[in-house]
Amino acid sequence: MSKNNIVVITGAGSGLGAALAYKYSSLGYHICLLGRTKSKLEQTAKTLTHGYSIYEVDVSSKQQVAQIIQSIQGDLGPIQLLFNNAGVGYFDDAENLSEDSVHQMIDINLKGTIFCTQEVLKGMKDRNEGTIVNIVSTAGKEGKVTESVYCASKFGVRGFTESLTLELKKTAIHVFAVYMGGMKTEFWDGIFSEEQTKKLMDPHDIADIIMDNIKPRKSLTVTEVVIKNQK
């Protein structure tokens, strides 16, 4: 298998992760679907036209992430492209957020991104190639009402991404951040009404924008893109 054909997507069971999996599969890539719920990953897999692998993993567990990434590299080969897409959000006034909700947002959104990145970086540095895409959200750019801890986790991902970009400045590894508004996904189930979700963005449109911006281009590098909902 070509070393350039392996794409790893966390949170691949729905939404943007599923859209990215579909689009990269249609281009002939082998897709590694990572997520906590096997049944959801299997649903995504049904839409794919080329090879895929399914891995149940909790990205907040460094041990699990290490085992899965090592397994992928051992069985399939070098990872060329990583999408840190897994995320969770709980929205309420700051004082009302439960301890478990706080832990989940920090552990999955921030620590999960860090752990997955750490594991793929070893191989990418050895080969001096690869791309890491962090799906951050506009919550990593500005504070929002009832999103205090969610924003805190995403501001953390932003800081990690910007620092990582500086660390890798003299390498051929590309780090890319996506700051997008709300999308029409199950992420908002129980939070937004059906009428509210109608105004949100289509994850397939976001996937197209991401894919177009991370393409290698002569004499330039796109480090981030901000995508906002129309008012």
Instruction: Give the rounded distance of the alpha carbon of 84 from its chain centre.
Output: 3
Other CB atoms closer than 10 Å to residue 38's CB: what's the count?
Answer: 14
The β-bridge partners of 226 are 179
Global pTM value: 0.92
Express each pLDDT in 139-152 by its tens digit: 999 999 999 999 99
% of the chain with per-residue pLDDT over 90: 84
Q: What number is the average pLDDT over the span 15-22?
A: 96
Instruction: Give the rounded distance of the alpha carbon of 104 from its chain centre.
Output: 16
> Which pLDDT does position 189 carry in this prediction?
52
Helix axes 203-213, 15-26, angle to 10 degrees: 60
Distance CA 188, CA 182 (A): 8
87 and 135 Cβ atoms separated by less than 8 Å: yes
Q: With 60 as the cut, is the pLDDT of residue 92 above it?
A: yes
Distance CA 227, CA 209 (A): 9
Residue type, 145: V
* DSSP secondary structure code for residue 105 in this structure: I
Pull the structure tokens for residue 229: 């909902």
Out of 24, 52, 55, 150, which one is annotated catalytic? 150
Express each pLDDT in 150-204 by its tens digit: 999 999 999 999 999 999 999 999 999 999 987 655 554 555 555 555 677 889 9
Residues sharing a CB contact under 8 Å with residue 16, sequence separation 6 or more, in sequence order: 85, 135, 183, 185, 203, 206, 207
Domain spanning 6-218, CATH architecture: 3-Layer(aba) Sandwich (3.40)
**Coil vs helix vs strand at 162:** helix
**For the CA atoms of 20, 25, 31, 35, what is the dihedral angle to 10 degrees?**
40
Told to judge if 29 belongs to the known catalytic residues of this protein, a careful annotator would answer no
